[in-house]
Amino acid sequence: PPIFSLGYHQCRWNYRDEADVYAVHAKFEELDYPYDVLWLDIEHTDGKRYFTWDSNTFPHPVEMQKTLSDQGRRMVTIVDPHIKRDDNYYIHKEATAKGLYVKDRIGSKDYDGWCWPGSSSYLDFTSEHVRSWWADQFAYDRYAGSTPSLFTWNDMNEPSVFNGPEVSMQKDLRNLAGVEHREWHNLYGLLFQGATASGLVRRNAGGNVRPFVLSRSFFAGSQKYGAIWTGDNKAEWSHLAAAAPMLLSLNVGALSFVGADVGGFFGDPDAELMTRWMQAGSYQPFFRGHAHHDSKRREPWMFGEETMIRLRKAAIARYALLPFWYTVFYDAWQTGMPVMRTMWMQYPRTEELFPVDDQYLIGSDLLVKPIAAPGVTETSILFPSSDTWYDVDTLQVISAQGKADGVVSMKVASNIDKIPVYQRGGSVIPRKLRLRRSSRLMKSDPYTLYVALDSDQAAEGILYMDDEETFEHERNASFGIAKFVASFEGGDSFIYNKVTLGAGWADQAVGERMLERIVVMGVKKRPKQIQLVGSASIDFEFDATANVAVLKKPGVNVLSDWKLRILY
């Protein structure tokens, strides 16, 4: 996915008008609170006519999007599959004339069902020419008021029909090929999302910008087209607790870009629930806050300054880890291994972990235990004993390596300011630590490597990089992969980087990817000197109590080969 889609998304049904959008955006700016996308639900349209804008509340959509884009943000608007049956509505008029709608059970008339706009018809997305026509509707000269910084949310695409049996279309309705709905019901949302993604690619000259499409309905293969979420949840602790098992189930099914609405869609979370949900959401692949129009406003500052600071801390932790998230998504793209992993997937011989679904791994290297109950100040975690684990906040060993294929159950502190997250010994995790207001503004920021040594005083990890927006990584092999290897044991101790550069990677990109520090956890003794091979010594600090070494300004970038020698 494009990297902006891995940032924080702010959504509500509905932001009322342009003034509301500008006010929300300005408050994020004022508070230095990072976010990447502001969302508009169905009320932004002209009477639920998709691809339109309400001229009273959103009279200047291009200028609105440009204001957000100029400050590094994008916008998402909702586009659903039910089309208002209005002969003056250009989408319906053309779809009717071209015969693109699902038919009744006889196969002669366009199906008429009831959804948000009232009387509605449904495009037959099982037909290739209908999908192609739909993709064409996202062209900038068709979707008036859209810009390259506008992306799409597909909802109600099960498909939902309010007056239908089981709140969907009757099973004996027919597509344009005469096949009954019962045969293609589960494909409808998949094909709708795929057609939308095609439109977002097709609208740009050369088709070289990655799309972002969120879908509620999905099927095997939906991971090719965008993100999905778990639907209309509630602002209740039980729904927060249910989120992790649901998202893990989807990841087991190879659907990695998934999330649950932070705060709960229905109802009003209190400050504690909102804090715990924001903490949990910052460690799920798709990270969006969303709320029903009957819910109280719940932007991060609505709970008071103390809570806002906690919510911002969770968002900042997410943004610092964007290079790691992006790398784990690269791994998922290459291997199929999910981004959010059950414990048993990484430790398949450890039976004690088979039923565990309230803690999980991001990739293979971060263990996360969301707090999903009120009043919690301490929680239990099962640490796989075949690895060493470090607290990401204190950088201290929390559980040392022991027997293979076992677990260590430990009580850990988890007051309202703490979500328990641990880095696996033997791993290297990249972060960007400069506070920015969006992912776009972080693009040229330097990296910090967090090296967690295992029991052999060794670690390794990768960092995947490309331009974060286009298909150049596929088309022209414009990408770079840095592999970091560290050893702090014995006479030849070192940290080195070995780079794989795609053939199309530009020289100027290499110059932008600097490394500003290396934090090494679990160092047993203070080095005498650290040298960049072929150059001068570099500054470092060593905390003997914490066993942490911090290497400062090594003067290298992550897309060049280099080696640091550790001298004792």
Catalytic residues: 155, 158, 232
Structure tokens at 129: 């020419």
d(CA 362, CA 461): 14
The torsion angle over the Cα atoms of residues 382, 384, 390 and 396, rounded to 10 degrees, is: 70
Structure tokens at 528: 């005498």
Provide DSSP, 434-480. S--SSSGGGTTPPEEEEEE--TTSEEEEEEEES-SSBSHHHHS---E
d(CA 120, CA 139): 23
Q: Which among 385, 389, 406 has a CA at the least distance from the CA of 522?
A: 389
Residue 551 near residue 530 (C-beta atoms within 8 A): yes
Structure tokens at 221: 């293969």
Distances (CA, A) of 566 to 493, 498, 533: 5, 17, 10
> Is the N-terminal amide bond of 163 cis, ω within 30° of 0?
no
Non-local (6+) Cβ contacts of 39 within 8 A are 9, 10, 11, 12, 15, 75, 76, 77, 78, 153, 288, 290
Provide DSSP, 157-183. TTT--TTSGGGS--TT-B-TTS-BHHH
The torsion angle over the Cα atoms of residues 525, 526, 531 and 533, rounded to 10 degrees, is: 0
H or E stretch at 90: helix 90-98
Residue 352 near residue 382 (C-beta atoms within 8 A): yes
Distances (CA, A) of 11 to 166, 289, 298, 566: 28, 6, 10, 49
Q: What is the crossing angle of helices 128-136 and 188-202, to 10°?
A: 40
Q: Which among 559, 443, 430 has a CA at the least distance from the CA of 507?
A: 559
Structure tokens at 241: 């607790």
Question: Which spans in 336-373 are helix H?
Answer: 343-346
Structure tokens at 228: 């999905």
C-alpha angle 291-293-295 in degrees, rounded to nearest 5: 65
Structure tokens at 143: 């979707």
State which amino acid sits at residue 39.
Answer: W
Q: How many angstroms from the chain centroid is the CA of residue 274?
A: 19
Beta bridge partner(s), residue 18? none
d(CA 32, CA 525): 39
State which amino acid sits at residue 269.
Answer: P
